[in-house]
Amino acid sequence: MKQIGILNLQGAVSEHITMLNHMGNIHVSLVQHPQQLATLDGLIIPGGESTTISRLIKQNGLLTPIQQFAQQGKGILGTCAGLVLCGKATTHSEVELLNLMDICVERNGFGRQINSFETQLDIPNIGQHIPAVFIRAPYIAKAGENVQQLAFVDQHCIMAQQNNILVCAFHPELTNDNCIMQYFVDLC
C-alpha cells in the first residue's frame, strides 16, 4: 500500500483525496508539518494560489523538508500552482520556489480565470484522450535538458517530469480519469 500525502495548506485538497480514495491500495494523509512527511512514499502539491501556498510552506517550516523529501527520491506531483512551486524560476518573484525541477514557469500563462478551458491530451506512456482542466493555468516557458516534456498546448509545455518529480499545469483531480494519478503513484 502506497502512502501518499497531500499538502494541506490551501487549494484543491479534497478533490485529490477523493480521487486517491477511489483508486484503492493507497493510504492518504494530509500534510501541514514537516514530521508528517516521514512515512510517505509521495507528496502532492495541489493547485491553489501559489503565492499563498509559498508563504504557508515557509511559515510551517516545510521548505527544506520538502526539498529533502525530493532528494530522497520520493515522488512529488505538482498540479497547477504546485507546478509553479516545483520550479527553479518564475516571472513573478514574490513566490519562493521549492527549486525541485529545472524549469522556468510563466504563472497564469494562459490568462485569467475567464480564460480557463478544458481539452484532451495524448501523453506518451500515460494515455490518450486524457481530459485536462486548465484554471488560470501556468505553463513551462523553459525546461532544462534533464526535464522530459510530456505534453503541450499551443506549443507551451504543460506537463513534465524530472526523475521523481512530475508536474502538470492542469487539474487531473477535477476529472474522472485517474491515469495521471496512477502514473504518479507508480513513480512513488
Pairing of strands 117-123, 156-162: unpaired
User: What pLDDT does residue 72 have?
Assistant: 97
Where do the H-state alpha helices sit in 60-175?
Answer: 63-71, 81-86
Does 112 have pLDDT greater than 80? no
129 is an active site residue:
no
Query: What pLDDT, in 10s, does the model give residues 42-67?
Result: 999 999 899 999 999 999 999 999 99
Does 131 have pLDDT greater than 90? yes
Q: pTM of the full predicted structure?
A: 0.95
Cα gap 20→62, rounded to integer Å: 23
CATH number of 2-187: 3.40.50.880
The response to whether 54 counts as a known ligand-binding position is no
The response to whether 135 counts as a known ligand-binding position is yes
User: What pLDDT does residue 11 have?
Assistant: 87
Does 109 have pLDDT greater than 80? no
In this structure, of 12-26, 83-97, 124-138, the range with the lowest mean pLDDT score is 83-97
State the average pLDDT over residues 82-110: 90
Sketch the domain layout of the chain as residue ranges. 2-187
The response to whether 55 counts as a known ligand-binding position is no
Does 115 have pLDDT greater than 80? no
State the average pLDDT over residues 160-185: 96
User: What pLDDT does residue 95 have?
Assistant: 85
Which residues in 130-145 are b (16+ Cβ under 10 Å) and which e? bbbbbbbbbbbbebee
User: What pLDDT does residue 71 have?
Assistant: 97
Which residues in 41-74 are b (16+ Cβ under 10 Å) and which e? bbbbbbbbbbbebbbbbeeeebbebbeebbeeeb
173 is an active site residue:
yes
The response to whether 145 counts as a known ligand-binding position is no
In angstroms, how far is CA 2 from the centroid of its own chain? 18
Q: How many CB atoms lie within 10 A of CB 104?
A: 14
User: What pLDDT does residue 108 have?
Assistant: 80
Q: Which of 106, 157, 168, 173 is catalytic?
A: 173
Contact between residue 26 and residue 2 where contact means Cβ atoms under 8 Å apart: yes
Q: Give the percent of the chain with pLDDT over 90.
A: 86
Using pLDDT thresholds of 50, 70 and 90, give the confidence band for residue 162. very high
Contact between residue 148 and residue 160 where contact means Cβ atoms under 8 Å apart: yes
Does 94 have pLDDT greater than 80? no
179 is an active site residue:
no
Q: Which of 15, 16, 157, 171 is catalytic?
A: 171
